[in-house]
Amino acid sequence: MAKRLYFLKLGGSIITDTKKPNAAKVAAMKRMFKEIREARSKKDFDLIIGHGSGSFAHVPAHKYKIHLGLINKNSRRGASITQHAAARLNRIVVEQLIKSGINAVSFPPSEGAIADGRKIKSWNLLPLKQALKNGFVPVTYGDVVVDTRQGVSIASTEEVFSFIASKLHPQKIMLATDVDGVFDKNPKIYKDGSLIASINGENLKRFLLSAGRSQKTDVTGGMYGKLSLLHEAVKRSRATGYIINGTKKGNIRDLLLGRKTTCTKVLP
């Protein structure tokens, strides 16, 4: 019987200080990676980790408007700088995973994914599949990719997960952020905001409006984009999606182990 496969995305806000350029939260990584190791010691499952770019790649991506493609004479330089920034954070993440006892290997989308109009259309996943089969933990991330329509584009981690999920069919897709899930109001501003327990195809549009208002936006669409693409990944793979607070000790471990955790559940 094949192992269960889980996807875990670590948001840029929980692995970097978004108020300081190129500032990795190494201590937070160590705590979260310890939880992952503990969960894997108690339960046998395969895992693919993805992470956001936070204060590393979002700054140049926004400056050069890389999500719009090759729009002017500075776009190629901006794409190179953004890709390099994303890769630098990925090396830090992989280094800390290895130090935490997790056999992580990097799978940058820029090395093989091809997009068309900001959507990944092709990517040879055979190396990633073989890495999983051989007992490794693949680590991917939001990246600059070649785009047949606009030259280059940003493939967010959620877009990457959506494509991979359609091919590998995980059982869980988990997004760890700095809030407990999706709220009807921004929980960082409004104390009376209510956590939305479950989102599916029937109520998605209504809660996308809440997500769009409740979180800051970035070049990958903020919470609105995250929720949209998570639901797409869930539909394509028939997985269950979760949005949890990765800054709270024990949350990541408990969700990996199937324990009750405060979150927003995302269903097809």
Determine the Cα–Cα distance for residues 234 and 230; give it in Å rounded to an integer. Answer: 6
Q: What is the pLDDT of residue 111?
A: 95
Here the tokens at position 92 are 């830090």
pLDDT for res 212: 52
Reading the block at residue 89, the tokens are 């954070």
Question: Is the model's pLDDT at 39 over the cut of 70?
Answer: yes
The DSSP element (H or E) to which 45 belongs, if any, is strand 45-51
Q: Is 71 exposed, middle or buried (0-12, 13-18, 19+ CB in 10 A)?
A: middle
The reported pTM is 0.92
Structural domains for the chain: 4-266 (3.40.1160.10)
pLDDT tens digit string along 22-35?
999 999 999 999 99
Confidence of residue 215 (pLDDT cuts 50, 70, 90): very low
* Token reading at 134: 């051989």
Percent of the chain residues topping a pLDDT of 70: 94
pLDDT value, residue 213: 45
Query: 170-182, pLDDT tens digit by residue?
Result: 999 999 999 998 8
Mean pLDDT on 65-74: 97
Give tens-digit pLDDT for 129-140: 999 999 999 999
Per-residue confidence (pLDDT) for residue 150, from 0 to 100: 98
Q: Where are the alpha helices (DSSP H) in the chain?
A: 12-15, 26-42, 54-64, 75-99, 126-133, 157-168, 204-214, 222-237, 251-256
Average pLDDT over residues 145-155: 98
Q: Which tokens is 57 given? A: 């790649």
Rounded to whole angstroms, the Cα distance separating 2 from 12 reads: 31
For residue 45, what pLDDT is reported? 97
- Residue 193 to residue 185: CA distance in whole angstroms: 5
How much is the mean pLDDT over the chain? 92
Residue 210 has pLDDT above 70, yes or no: no
